[in-house]
Amino acid sequence: MPSNPNIGDIVSRSGGQSWFYSDTVKDHFFNPRNFMRDESEYRDAAMGMVGSPACGDAMKVWISVDPITERITDCKWKTFGCGSAIASTSMMSVMVTENGGMTLEAARKLRPQDILARLGGLPARKIHCSVLGDKALRAAINDWYRRNGQPEKIEEEQGRVIDPETKVTDKDIEHAVLDGADTLEKIQAKLKVGVGHPECLPEVEQLIRFYREKYFGA
């Protein structure tokens, strides 16, 4: 038992930052639920993937669905990611399969905030990890509709172009805020948005405020 109750679970090498993980987060990290052990057993399952192992976090999600009720009966996942990504996706897999399983429409509306609430929160710098699972889930839902001849129900996530010069979208800004770029200066350093088209900067600032409040409450 640490003498100082304010000491975090993980402390940076400089000693200037501490991250706190709830008991639920640690439980799902050390004992992940529904982790994919053998992909060959799920060749016929609907699958969604987001991210890339080459650039960091990546996530795959497989779902089995009752074709009559369109409820998720099983959810497996695999990730190349950090402990927060593992815990949040483990929790997501529980949420979509418990109590008889979520319908596809309900699962599609699952938000990172819903997962965070069940986990008891994540460190601010790790909140972006909770977004991977629900995005991969929505991709898997699209794949299920595609496989089952319901293309009209597919909802592809597309970004709206904010800066026509750099082709930066609102989704790019959302991801950048989640990665810690929470000011205009940081966003511009990361995305070069508005450098050749400054007319878009007021909208960029508005989006930064919106996503900062959405994910961090400030």
Q: Same domain, yes or no, for 25 and 85? A: yes
Q: What mean pLDDT value characterizes the chain?
A: 85
Segment 189-211 mean pLDDT: 92
Q: How far apart are CA 92 and CA 110, in angstroms?
A: 9
Q: How far apart are CA 171 and CA 181, in angstroms?
A: 13
Residue span of the structural domain in which 177 resides: 161-216
Tally the domains of the chain. Answer: 2
Segment 93-117 mean pLDDT: 94
Q: Is 75 a catalytic residue?
A: no
Instruction: With respect to residue 1, please indicate whether it lies within any of the assigned structural domains.
Output: no
The string of pLDDT tens digits covering residues 133-190 is 888 999 999 999 999 999 999 998 778 899 988 888 898 898 888 878 899 999 998 8
Domain CATH code at residue 189 = 1.10.10.1100
Q: Same domain, yes or no, for 127 and 52? A: yes
Q: Same domain, yes or no, for 38 and 132? A: yes
- The upper half-sphere exposure of residue 7, i.e. CA atoms within 13 Å in the direction of its Cβ, equals 6
Instruction: With respect to residue 211, please indicate whether it lies within any of the assigned structural domains.
Output: yes
Q: Same domain, yes or no, for 125 and 31? A: yes
pLDDT score of 9: 53
Segment 15-38 mean pLDDT: 83
Q: Same domain, yes or no, for 80 and 131? A: yes
pLDDT score of 190: 85
pLDDT score of 125: 65
Instruction: With respect to residue 5, please indicate whether it lies within any of the assigned structural domains.
Output: no
Domain CATH code at residue 72 = 3.90.1010.10
Instruction: With respect to residue 118, please indicate whether it lies within any of the assigned structural domains.
Output: yes
Q: Same domain, yes or no, for 37 and 145? A: yes
Specify the residue for token string 């000011």. Answer: 183
Q: Is 129 a catalytic residue?
A: yes
Instruction: With respect to residue 134, please indicate whether it lies within any of the assigned structural domains.
Output: yes
Q: Same domain, yes or no, for 74 and 49? A: yes
Segment 38-52 mean pLDDT: 86
Split at pLDDT 50, 70, 90, the class of 215 is confident
